[in-house]
Structure 1
Amino acid sequence: MVVERGAGVLVAMICLGFALPVHAAPPVDFTNDIIPLISRLGCNASACHGKAEGQNGFKLSVFAHDPEGDFRALTRESRGRRISPTAPADSLLLRKISGAIGHGGGVRAPKNSRAYSLFLRWIKDGTPYEIGGRPALTRIRLEPSRQTAALNVSQPLKVMAEFSDNTRRDVTWLSIFHSNDTNMAEVDEKGIVTIGNSVGQTSVMARYQGKVATFQAIVPRPGPGVAYPNLPNHNFIDPIVDSHLKRLNIIPSLLSDDATFLRRVYLDIAGRLPTANESETFLSNNTPDKRSGLVEALLETPEFADYWALKWADLLRVDRLKLGHEDAYRYYKWIHESLSKNKPLDRLAHELLTAEGPLTEQPAGFFYRAANNTGDMAAMVSQVFLGVRITCAECHQHPYDRWTQQDYHAMRGFFQQVTTKNSAVGLALLAEGNPTIKHPRTGAVIRPYPLGESMPEKSPQGDRRHALANWMIHPENPYFARNLANRLWAHFLGKGLITPIDDLRETNPPSNPELLDALAASLVKNNYDLKKMIRTITHSRTYQLSSKPNATNLSDEQNFSRALFRRLPAEVLMDAVCDVTGVDEKFDGVPRGYRAVQLWDSQVQHYFLKLFGRPARATVCECERVTGASMGQALHLMNSPNIQTKLAHEGGRIKRLTFKHEDDADIVRQLYLSTFSRPPSRDEMNTGLQYLGSRRFQRRRAAEDLAWSLMNSLEFIFNH
């Protein structure tokens, strides 16, 4: 058999997987080829050689944030024993990853694999770090980037790298993939996406050399298209939601009844149940605009400020252990007063960021004392006001976003001037000097710049915080309004357009981008008026939908085609128990009559509040508040001696009801109105009357039992 000259090279090129025609093997270097491959194989993951102490004497930087250090570790450390230039195939690196000798990480690249061949070529080429003149990577793209997909189908993705010389290269096999929601879609290491059984929108991220790209799939409900009803639009929200639901072949649920809306909006705006009298008044009102009128009335109640001050106190870390009792209270009162006066949210944020002077006169300055250091402050500001998580970028490149160590320390730089000094009226906050920040690895000076911007030639003049605050609240800021809109939407609808709600990033796209953009634009247009936004959301038909599903939206929990069940927050549920039983809870350190929602001190010890997920305010993450239900919670509601005492209290509601009403039907009706904000159905009334009648000589105890059963129902524990 005669083999023409060069045919062997051609066969080798085909085996290595390079596209034809090929004139020469592309050069291999450490930064463009080996680093992505090391990441792809998981060698620099935090569970392997990327952990702080390394693994078996070999340490790599986690997620390849220090390629120069990784190059030294691989080629120079341990007297260069990991690489054998004279006998490349005998290199310890290749013998380990191929399984020729024992390796704690197992076989990562068999000898016949593409990965092994690439490592071998690099060693044969002299282990170059970089190859001069090689074009720089500018971006990556996923092909396809967006697609309508059916349930239970697979779709291969291709990652194309684009370079500064306008060339493109398929780097799929060197990329890392991650699914945002594995219930919606899974992706394997080859980039093959498999859609699951859920309807909605999902995304898959690809990462290569610090660049990220996203594939989005819209997964409609299977079957023939349904005739979408002609529904009224209450405001701009509804047609945007309807348009999305039409694409998904989903019909929204019917509008909620008045009793459901009444209870829902009281809980969402004021953080409390309506009283029986308030329920009867609203339900008997036949005016067409009574829902908007109720919202307006609730926005002017003291309970509105109490409830929303609690929410913001969580985010802004009003923590007595951190600040001290008096200072934490001053900080809380400033938050409460700001919300009571409906201070625009952009102004509230600006005042917090730029606070200066004596803290007794400028309580907003306690925001800075809630942070441990400038890095903590940068992370707090980014997460609370921008919805961006940068904490992990302190040590390494963000694995699912574009933020680098430089970005993290640039944000830190805005707060380096901040210090405290004693004044005649106590501790004062001020910004002074012109401190510099250096990159912890390279030593290069980093001048402050906001997220997503470029480093300026000079640092901002004067108090740097003003430059950051002005950038943040600018109408064209890509994060601030979207973050606030997403947080407010999540509060009222039970789920953010982006989840987690404080994790806005390119690789975590919103479930309905058009709606998030519209809500953010509305916030900006209305000068960040919180009450105006609450009116807008609660007036929408989308907010007022029933939680009862239909045949098309039974499994939908993403697209707002129906109301979602939401367990009441710890403080709201505690107050609801007190309202139904008519007996106040006594909290340590405050007078009797304080509602749980009014507790500014998160350190007040209380078993019920802790069990039901009250946050300690150790972080600014919304995830610190536990909102899920548990067996322990259910058992506590059933068996708590404290709740039993409230039900049987001599001054409680149950005794008053049985004393005041001779007719058992009145007792049943009042209990249903106070717990569910609605009168009982005919069957419920008959069941209640039958139970009370069967215990004629223990009428009060029977009423206590009925109240207990209602308080242990899902209808009481959940907002719906």
Structure 2
Amino acid sequence: DGQTIAAAGFDGDVCLYQAADGMLVKQFTPVPLLADAASAATAASPAGDDVNFIRDVQPVLSKLGCNAGTCHGAKDGKNGFKLSLRGYDPLYDHRALTDDIGSRRFNRASPENSLMLLKATGQVPHVGGQLIDANHRYYEILRRWIAAGVELDLATPRVASIDIHPKNPVIDREGQTQQMKVVAVYANGESRDVTAEAFVETGNQDIASVDAAGLVTALRRGEAPILARYEGAYNATIATVMGNRDGFAWQEPEKFNFIDDLVAEKLQRTKTLASPLCDDASFIRRVYLDLIGLPPSADEVRAFLADESDSRAKREALIDKLVGSPEYVEHRANKWADLLQVNGKYLGREGATAFRAWIRDAVAANMPYDKFAYTILTASGSNRENPAASYFKILRTPAETMENTTHLFLAVRFNCNKCHDHPFERWTQDQYYHMAAYFAQIGITKDPMSGDKKIGGTAVEGAKPLYEIVSDTGKGEVKHDRTGDVTAPQFPYDDPYEASEGASRREELARWITSPQNRYFAKSYVNRLWGYLLGVGLIEPLDDIRAGNPPSNPELLDQLTTGFIDSGFNEQELIRTICKSAAYQRSIETNRWNEDDQTNYSHAVARRLPAEVLFDAVHRVTGAQARIPGMPAGSRAAELPDVGIKLPGGFLDQFGRPARESACECERVSGVMLGPVMTLVNGPTIAGAIADGGNELTKLVAAQADNAQLVEELFVRILNRPPTEAELAECLAAFDEIEADHQKLAGQLDALEKKFAPAIAALEKTRADAIAAADKNLNDYRAANAERYAQEKQAREDRIAQAQAALDAYLPQLPEKLAAWEKQRAEGEPQSLWTILDPEKFKSTNNAQLTKEADLSLVASGPNGKTKYEVEARTDLTAITGVRLELLADERFPSKGPGRAQNGNFVLSELTVEAAPASEPAKFASVALQNAQANFSQDSYDVKTAIDGKSPGAGNGWATSPKFGENRYAVFETKDDIANANGTLLKFTLDQQFNDGQHTIGRFRILVTSAARPLKLDEANTIPEAVGKILAVAADQRSDEQKQELDKFFRTIDPELKRLEAALAEANKPLPDDPRLKSLEVKLAEAKQPIKLDSGLVRMREMTRISAEQLKNQRLTGAQDIAWVLINSPAFLFNR
């Protein structure tokens, strides 16, 4: 009738579908002869009142889109009505439909007037529009369910799996179609055609499209995964669109092992002809770059090409030589460092270096992959002693660790089913929390060997100790996000594994993951290695195994996986097997029958070199020594322990080095975009390697006199092949062009010089006249004021002489003054001096660095922002009555500080003090402060508000504007004496919360005293503890060194000496500038400025100068030019 499509399956069922919407109209199921009635198949459409909510209604709601994520299945539902996403919770959905808002959505007495039917048919307003009419099959299913009492039978058998038919269909030409059929298999063994309610989708919309009825339409030649989804079950197959293959004739490709047999089978099925093997030059370059991350040397290339033995045999020997070599180890270790997120951001430089070294040792020992993963997943102890435990220092929460572990070791993305069931896979939300529970009993505590060293720290997350201890605590659970219940550990699929009785959760998980029977563990790693070597995985992306993403050659993946397991998870053996296949060794050249093939390995795929490989290759071929900050000269980029190590110009980051912040393969970028291109052309890395005077290019030019042989050496060294005749001729011509190019530049410069000569001459005359006039004015003014200058100079010299004489006359009195000071101190108040505290612990809450200076002051550097400085110190002083805070001017800060703001200001919002007996350091108690005094306070920022218990963002605290670049000090009395006979531990907190986050203190030190209250603000009344010890020694028993130290200190506090020194410094100040004289000097300097030349002339002069320099060593210049061109060519940038 033109409106109905008939489809028949292998089981004999005949289905009629509406062409317009794909809905099932009728199904005919054959009944076997001589069978009893009980064995007859059940029709897909429920008969009579036998309508089941789980089996019949839920699939209808899904097909109509009611529980989709864009409708009522959204997180918060839609318009007040919420269903579980895609019907994963039938009990919740049943209650929502039947109990919510007084059961208003159904009407059993009059099912046709049920709100859920009125909305679906558009009889009442519905945002989703009209979905069905009263004659639709789905309408009848819903009506019957309502009429039967909206019952729910939770014992209904659920869908266990689905099958999709036909398997791997082949569609001959574009525009042709193939009807897919979906059969559900239930837990009780029954099966049912569910094509009408199933969702059938294409994984490649460029190759094939699929309509609502599951009808596949071919669009162009290629392969498209076809995914079927029904009630939480998934299955997939691959549809092949053959396209026009007229004239195709199958030819057997070369076969070296089972890989080639299985690849050839797929190529024959898809009518694809394989390319021939690559030549030896291409092979040696490819295998070196793939296996060790370095190109071969020129000598290695020549030796390999000259070897006349069987090509396959010598290639296999080369593979055996490279696999397991030291360079191989570094290359593979770098890849694992990416996947394991070896990053100083999480581990510090020391931890990252240790973890990278552990990985390297494991790769060097060819540790079996299952043991490697097991060792990481069960690692315990300090990551300082057992670096593998760093895995749990990086991933700190059960959910985070579970998501990363399943992604890394199983290529399964469990992060998609955290909030609801996985939208494209069978994984459920419950399984997410069951799996996370395996990581709930991991403890992480500080390793005492960390000392005060910390990593990171933000306003949201505190800093972590440098080293931490990982252990299995036996305590800790995970709560389900939806139910709030504690979730027991349970695996998402039942693959066999062996674990000892009483094993920890982590041990059990590791045994399950690394089991040879685990369906994803070995397979996922085999796929990764295949993708690394062939450029395209059997599953793409490499780390995304799911039902809707089937392998392009499942038989090959299965056999590779079996071989990997049988080898004892021997990575090196697997890599040898792959590299020794003809599939790996094919040429990148294509033919008519494989030019559109991207998935079946009929030809090699050119791949851009990874960032580290490219960097190392550039230095290898030029012979330049790499200089990486913080690494020994000549180190490879592949050896870097930490992505925090950056190169000048950002070369590695520009070329896609991963940030090592996740295990996703997508972190590494391999495209060629504008940024990397500009780095190649203008960046310092390649230019520096080529121009390095000590590189091999310079030596090569000196050693090789023949230009033809020089060019050949450059090609073999850089591209690992000899040049073609045309390339050789072009390069030889380039040598001769250097002088011609220089002459051309010289001619262009001469023409420009002549063009601009008149203008330049005029400008120079104007300049000379201006200089002469300015010089005359200056000299005339100096002559007119010579007598005044002489008088001012003599007066200054007299002041200096007088000040120096006064100082010289006073210095001999210092010993007497010192003795008198000591006597006065001994007879008066020996405790009136301030004692400088020696900070033992100090930190900033905003990650600023505090550094202790020789004078026991602390200097801030690094990030600026709102912060608290926390300082701890000990003192033997008893009966402490006051605290003195000194803020010191310093050249390192704007306007000499003492603050870090742009004008040198600071704002101390609040100062708090705590004290504890030295013998009981945990018993800190708050110390009340009073009577704050300062040598200067800014208006509205009096020092008294720094101890008022408030820390607002403005209008409170101690500040110093407008007086900057001077020492500031403040004294705070303690309300009560701090008296501990055996010493005191003091803790000071300098809270700085000014709004802009910039007004922090730059340099400060803290002092205490036992002087009687009230305390005086006396700057000179300070004494270091070391000086105090000298004073305790009798004068006649002091050593010469002690006497010198005491004299040195006294000179800093004697007020008369300080006055005389200040007077001498004032006298020595230069005479103030004469404004008129200064103005005339500036005018003369301006007149002497060179004339401004035309920019084109300036540029041409510079180009000609450089060209002249290059002409001095014409052959080296030519060699460098050729090297630059070859390195920037696709033949070098890509592994072919």
TM-score, normalised by the number of residues in structure 1: 0.89
Mapped contact 1:276–1:670 kept (Cα < 8 A): yes
Tell me, yes or no, if the aligned pair for 2:24 and 2:196 is still in contact at 8 Å. no
Match status 1:265 vs 2:287: yes
Greater Cα offset, 109-118 or 267-276: 109-118
Report the residue type matching 2:171 in the other structure. A
- The aligned residue for residue 6 of structure 1 is none
Shift of 1:595: 2.0
Higher mean alpha-carbon deviation, 34-43 vs 254-263, is at 34-43
SS of alignment partner, residue 262 of structure 1: helix
Residues in 1 aligned to 2:714 and 2:67: alpha-carbon distance in whole angstroms: 61
**Any residues of structure 2 matched to 1:468-479 within 5 Å, and which?**
468-479=509-520
Which of 667, 672, 690 is residue 629 of structure 1 equivalent to? 672
Q: Which moved more, 1:493-502 or 1:572-581?
A: 572-581
Measured at CA, do residues 166 and 650 of structure 1 come closer, stay the same or move farther in structure 2, by a change above 3 Å?
A: closer
Could you say which residue in structure 1 is the equivalent of 2:1129?
A: 713
The worse-fitting range, judged by mean Cα deviation, of 26-35 and 258-267 is 26-35
One of 401, 422, 425 as aligned partner of 1:401: 425
Distance 1:323 1:478 in 2: 33
Q: How does 1:408-419 map to 2 (within 5 A)?
A: 408-419=432-443
Tell me how far 1:23 sits from its aligned partner: 9.0
- Partner SS, residue 419 of structure 1: strand
Cα pair distance change 1:466/1:166, threshold 3 Å: closer
Structure 1 stretches lacking a partner, 5+ long: 1-13
Residue 185 (1) aligns with residue 601 (2)? no
Matches within 5 A, 1:673-712: 673-696=716-739, 697=1111, 698-712=1114-1128
Q: 1:661 to 1:185 in 2, by over 3 A?
A: same
Match of 2:257 in 1: 235
- Bigger drift between 26-35 and 533-542 goes to 26-35
Task: Assess, with a 3 A threshold, how the Cα gap between structure 1 residues 461 and 186 changes in structure 2: closer, same or farther.
Answer: farther
Q: Match of 1:542? A: 583
For the pair 1:148 / 2:170, whether they are aligned, the reply is yes
Q: Which residue number in structure 2 is paired with residue 209 of structure 1?
A: 231
Please state whether the residue corresponding to 1:324 is helix, strand or coil: helix
Aligned to 1:525: 566
Deviation of the 1:420 alpha carbon: 2.4
Q: Which amino acid aligns with 2:394?
A: A
3-state DSSP class of the match of 1:336?
helix
Give distance in 1, aligned partners of 2:687 and 2:384. Answer: 44
- Greater Cα offset, 573-582 or 528-537: 573-582
Which of 589, 598, 618 is equivalent to 1:557? Answer: 598
Please list the CA deviations of residues 657-689 of structure 1 after superposition, one character each: whole Å capped at 9, or x if unmatched: 444433222332222122211111111111111
Q: Which moved more, 1:28-37 or 1:380-389?
A: 28-37
Counterpart AA for 2:211: D
Cα shift at 1:312: 0.7
2:297 corresponds in structure 1 to 275
CA distance in 1 between counterparts of 2:155 and 2:369 reads 50
Q: Is the 8 A contact 1:460 1:467 kept in 2?
A: no
Separation (CA, whole Å) in 2 of partners of 1:568 and 1:25? 66
Residue 3 of structure 1 corresponds to none
User: Counterpart in 2 of 1:302?
Assistant: 326
Q: SS where residue 172 of structure 1 aligns?
A: coil
The counterpart of 1:665, out of the listed 705, 708, 712, is 708
The letter for the 2-side match of 1:534 is: I
Hey, what's the Cα distance between the residues in 2 that align with 1:36 and 1:87?
Answer: 23
Q: Is the 8 A contact 2:495 2:517 kept in 1?
A: no
What is the percent sequence identity of the aligned residues?
38
| Deviation digits for residues 446-501 of structure 1 (CA, Å, limit 9, x no counterpart) | 44333311899x99623122223223333333222211211111111111111122
Tell which deviates more after alignment, 317-326 or 156-165.
156-165
Does 1 or 2 have the higher relative contact order (CA < 8 Å, sep 6+)?
A: 1
- CA 1:75–1:711: 2 relative to 1, 3 Å: farther
Is residue 337 from structure 1 mapped to residue 753 from structure 2 by the alignment? no
**Cα offset, 1:137, TM superposition:** 3.2
Structure 1 counterpart SS, 2:512: helix
Aligned to 2:13: none
Q: Does 1:603 find its partner at 2:640?
A: no
In 2: Cα distance, 1:437 partner to 1:172 partner: 39
Please state whether the residue corresponding to 2:160 is helix, strand or coil: strand
The counterpart of 1:461, out of the listed 496, 502, 505, is 502
> Equivalents in 2 of 1:691, 1:459: separation in Å?
73
Structure 1 residue 170, shift from structure 2 partner: 2.9
CA contact (8 A) 2:252 2:264 kept: no
Structure 2 Cα separation of the partners of residues 159 and 629 of structure 1:
43
SS at match of 1:414: helix
Residue aligning to 1:351: 375
Residue 268 of structure 1 aligns to a residue whose secondary structure is: helix
Name 1:244's counterpart in structure 2: 266
1:428, distance to aligned residue in structure 2 (A): 2.3
In structure 2, what is the equivalent of residue 61 of structure 1?
A: 84
CA positional deviation for 1:210: 0.8
Distance in 1 of aligned mates of 2:721 and 2:731: 15
Is residue 364 of structure 1 aligned with residue 388 of structure 2?
Answer: yes
The answer to whether the Cα contact below 8 Å between 2:207 and 2:219 also exists between their aligned partners in 1 is yes
Deviations 1:182-211 (A, max 9, x none): 3333222221112332335x4311111111
TM-aligned CA deviation for residue 262 of structure 1: 0.6
* Unaligned residue ranges in structure 2 (runs of 5+): 1-17, 29-42, 450-466, 740-1110
Q: Is contact 1:32-1:209 (8 Å) kept?
A: no
Matches within 5 A, 1:495-534: 495-534=536-575
C-alpha change, 1:101 and 1:658, in structure 2 (3 Å) is farther
In the alignment, residue 632 of structure 1 is paired with which amino acid?
A: G
Q: 1:353 and 1:185, CA in 2 relative to 1: closer, same or farther beyond 3 A?
A: same
Change (3 A) 1:554 1:132: closer
Mark the CA change 1:23 to 1:633 in structure 2 (over 3 Å): closer, same or farther: closer
* 2:161 matches 1:139: yes
Aligned to 2:1010: none
Is the 2:49–2:144 Cα contact (8 Å) retained in structure 1? no
Shift in Å at residue 632 of structure 1? 3.4
8 Å CA contact 1:98–1:110 kept in 2: the answer is yes
For these two proteins, the number of residue pairs brought into alignment is 704
Distance 1:701 1:101, change over 3 A: farther
The residue that corresponds to 2:218 in the other structure is: 195
| 1: CA distance, partners of 2:685 / 2:393 | 37
1:256 is matched with: 278
Judged with a 3 Å threshold, the aligned counterparts in structure 2 of structure 1 residues 171 and 17 are, in CA distance, closer, same or farther, namely: same
Instruction: Return closer, same or farther for 1:282/1:87 CA change in 2, 3 Å cut-off.
Output: same
CA shift at 1:93, angstroms?
4.5
Q: Distance in 1 between matches of 2:116 and 2:353?
A: 59
2:947 is aligned to none
Q: 1:31 to 1:292 in 2, by over 3 A?
A: same
- SS of aligned partner of 1:601: coil
The structural deviation recorded for 1:121 is 4.6
The amino acid across from 1:68 in the alignment is: L
Q: Give me the whole-angstrom Cα distance separating, in 1, the residues matched to 2:726 and 2:496.
A: 69
How far off its partner does 1:270 sit? 0.5
Q: Flag the structure with larger Rg.
A: 2
Query: 1:204 aligns to what SS in structure 2?
Result: strand
1:132 and 1:406 map into 2 onto residues whose CA distance is 18
Alpha-carbon spacing, 1:24–1:55, altered in 2? closer, same or farther (3 Å): closer
Separation in 2, partners of 1:653, 1:702 = 14
- CA 1:115–1:627: 2 relative to 1, 3 Å: farther
- Return closer, same or farther for 1:424/1:641 CA change in 2, 3 Å cut-off: closer
State the secondary structure of the residue aligned to 2:288. helix
Given residue 432 of structure 1, which amino acid in structure 2 is its aligned partner? T
Residue by residue over 1:568-609, the C-alpha shift from the partner in whole angstroms, topping out at 9 and shown as x without a partner, is 112112222333444345434334322222122123345222
Partner Cα distance (2:708, 2:125) in 1: 78
Q: Distance in 2 between matches of 1:99 and 1:455?
A: 53
